[in-house]
Amino acid sequence: MTLQKQPVMTNDELRDLLAPYRDTYPADADIDIATYTCACCFSRDEVNSIARWKFQTDRRRLTRTLNLLATNTDFDFQNLTSRALRNQDDLAALLLAMELNGVGKAFGSAILMAADPCRFSVLDYRAARALQALGYLTDCSTPTPENPAPWVRYLAAARDVAERTGWTLRNVDRALWEAGG
């Protein structure tokens, strides 16, 4: 994969631009999923909890997701999340998570991030919009809830911002979500 073009701003300018957004993200917003860090797999209840966290502002989408998740077996949850979390390939990890009924790209990325926030970012159309405004993903279509951004390129851009700002990937995630809102 070729490296994406970086925004035409210094690392300090990038950090200064995003800092106010990072600081407005509610400190306790992630408390419901904080205990999942370093998980090796997820149960039905844990995936349902991550869904409630991801879709807390969209009741319709949450209800639809929970109904679809209910069609998976307990074995599906443990098997697929275990395989996804152990996979070293970022795209393969997401695709394995998406094998669960009710899991799309955005929700799959939230499952991955809940277990490993140092490696994964939550794919969100608002954050993708912020990345575009910063000069990343400029050759992609305008992000929408149905089509947020290409996963691997989005993740690479978020990781680049983390490296350039010196922040954790989760702090970058929070700042981008706020900035694109």
Last residue of a domain, one of 64, 90, 115: 115
127 and 97 in one domain? no
DSSP 43-83: -HHHHHHHHHHHTTT-HHHHHHHHHHHTTS-HHHHHHHHHH
Give the pLDDT score at 2: 43
42 and 105 in one domain? yes
42 and 111 in one domain? yes
What is the mean pLDDT of the segment spanning 97-116? 97
CA-nearest of 121, 93, 123 to 107 is 123
Give the pLDDT score at 152: 94
- Selected residue with higher pLDDT from 28 and 169: 169
What is the mean pLDDT of the segment spanning 105-129? 96
What angle separates helix 105-115 from helix 151-165, to the nearest 10 degrees? 40
52 and 15 in one domain? no
CA 49 to chain centre: 15
- Alpha carbon distance 126, 132 (integer Å): 10
What's the mean pLDDT when you consider all of the chain? 93
Last residue of a domain, one of 97, 115, 133: 115
* Structural domain contains residue 63: yes
Q: Which domain holds residue 144?
A: 11-27+122-179
| Whole-prediction pTM | 0.92
Last residue of a domain, one of 115, 132, 147: 115
CB 24 within 8 A of CB 178: yes
CB atoms within 10 A of CB 70: 11
Look at the chain and report how many structural domains it folds into.
2
Q: How many residues does the chain have?
A: 181
Q: Residue 8: is its pLDDT beyond 80? A: no
CA-nearest of 108, 85, 107 to 37 is 85
Percent of the chain with pLDDT over 70: 97
* Structural domain contains residue 2: no
* Structural domain contains residue 32: no
For 20, how many CA atoms within 13 A lie in the half-sphere containing its CB? 5
